[in-house]
């Protein structure tokens, strides 16, 4: 197979769960969980283990025990959040190779890597989805013959509309397919 020209390949990196917002949430949940556990332990030992307030004055049953359950739940949630961030779930790339005639979509899953290969001739359009409201959605997807729409953009924070339209137009131009939904 001859080497492909650089203009025949378009690769788009996709950001996973290692975003500043996820790091901030994991940090806050971790600190809150440790705080609740220390409050519960202070109540049980009748000693202030925290520099703020007087948790030793709380009655162990039911207040201290309930604080301990909240702390345990928060620490378990924080463990899950930190593991998702450590694995970087959702990270990957979209690679479109005209020379090879295929698109390769890769994502890092929680337990395994997800790879999807699609022949470029089966791609019918690039679709821009914009939905505002309580649960906003702004994403790019590929309309593929005989399959559901295949999302290309990251999950979570919606992309700015101008960036979304620019990326969709660039991809549609590269693939030679129409842009839908604009």
CATH topology (fold) of 6-16+90-180: PH-domain like (2.30.29)
Residue partners of 146: CB distance under 8 A and separation at least 6 = 122
Enter the DSSP assignment of 46: T
Which pLDDT does position 75 carry in this prediction? 98
Task: Indicate the domain borders of the chain.
Answer: 6-16+90-180, 21-87
Which pLDDT does position 6 carry in this prediction? 59
Which pLDDT does position 1 carry in this prediction? 43
Look at residues 163, 145, 146 and name the one whose alpha carbon lies nearest to residue 154. Answer: 163
Neighbours of 18 (CB within 10 A): 15
One pLDDT digit (tens) per residue for the chain, 182 residues:
455 555 899 999 999 999 999 999 999 999 999 999 999 999 999 999 999 989 999 999 999 999 999 999 999 999 999 999 999 999 999 999 999 999 999 999 988 999 999 999 999 999 998 888 887 888 899 999 999 999 998 777 678 889 999 999 999 999 999 999 86
Is residue 30 within 8 Å of 78, Cβ to Cβ?
yes
Which pLDDT does position 93 carry in this prediction? 96
> For the whole model, what pTM was predicted?
0.82
CB hemisphere CA count around 2 (13 angstroms): 6
Which pLDDT does position 5 carry in this prediction? 55
């Amino acid at each position: 197979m001859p080497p492909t020209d650089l203009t025949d390949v378009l690769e788009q990196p996709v950001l996973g769960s290692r975003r500043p917002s996820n790091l901030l949430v994991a940090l806050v949940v971790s600190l809150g969980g440790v705080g609740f556990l220390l409050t519960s332990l202070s109540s049980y030992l009748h000693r202030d283990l925290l520099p703020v307030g007087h948790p030793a004055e709380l009655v162990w049953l039911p207040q201290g025990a309930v604080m301990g359950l909240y702390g345990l739940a928060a620490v378990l949630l924080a463990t899950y959040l930190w593991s998702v961030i450590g694995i970087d779930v959702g990270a990957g790339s979209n690679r479109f190779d005209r020379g090879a005639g295929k698109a390769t979509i890769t994502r890092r899953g929680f337990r395994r890597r997800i790879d999807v290969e699609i022949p470029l001739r089966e791609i019918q359009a690039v679709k821009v989805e914009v939905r505002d409201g309580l649960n906003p959605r702004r994403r790019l997807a590929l309309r593929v013959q005989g399959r559901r729409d295949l999302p290309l953009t990251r999950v979570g924070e919606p992309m700015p509309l101008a960036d979304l339209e620019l990326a969709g137009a660039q991809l549609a131009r590269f693939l030679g397919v129409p842009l839908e939904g604009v």
